[in-house]
Amino acid sequence: MKTLVIILVAMMFTPAYAGPVITYDFATAEQEALFNKLSDELRCLVCQNQAISDSNADLAKDLRDEIYTMLQQGQSEDQIVEFMVARYGDFVLYRPPVKPVTWLLWFGPALALIAGFFVVMRIVNKQKQASAVEISGEDIERLKALQAETQAVIKNSGDGKV
């Protein structure tokens, strides 16, 4: 009886997680490959960290439909990408082009690494300077006297061990 209840409860909640599977009919395998490529390379603007091929957002579905329609109209990959960038900006691309607006995206991590290196070097140099203490002539004489005493104790111990 318990097993039956568990199965019924599981069946009640399963449809909530299952979404419709949308399939597209392509005239050629090249069209299908291009559709899959574009769907994997364009970012979902709602999810922001998912490709539109992986997203269940309504906007991602609309973008997939738009790509499909444009492919059916015979538009090329470049034309489709240009349309998406014109409409949604460079953010729709996972790999935005290198141009002044996107320099921070491309070169920001390297600049941060270099800046971090200089900060670490500066901290290390400051610590070296702070730890370097001048020893007076009087302290040097005391150290020499202690060293001489130590040597004398070692010689007098007989076996050379302290």
pLDDT of residue 161: 55
- Give the start-to-end residue ranges of the domains of the chain: 2-97, 102-156
Query: What's the rounded Cα separation, in Å, for the pair 104 and 133?
Result: 43
Report the greatest alpha carbon distance in the chain.
Answer: 102
Helices (H), 18-57: 29-41
CATH superfamily of 2-97: Cytochrome C biogenesis protein (1.10.8.640)
For residue 42, the cross-strand partners are: 93
pLDDT averaged over 10-residue windows placed end to end, the chain, 162 residues: 72 55 80 91 85 88 93 92 91 84 86 95 87 78 91 77 52
Phi and psi (nearest 5°) for 4? -65, -40
Angle at CA 58, nearest 5°, toward 52 and 63?
45
**Residue 51 DSSP symbol:** B
Task: Please check whether residue 85 is in contact with residue 98, taking contact to mean a CB–CB distance below 8 angstroms.
Answer: no
Closest CA to 59 of 70, 49, 45: 45
pLDDT of residue 20: 47
Q: How many C-beta atoms surround the C-beta of residue 39 within 10 A?
A: 19
pLDDT of residue 98: 86
CA distances in angstroms from 97 to 4, 81, 113, 119, 131, listed in the order given: 57, 12, 22, 31, 49
pLDDT of residue 118: 96
pLDDT of residue 3: 78
First-to-last alpha carbon distance for the chain, in angstroms, is: 84
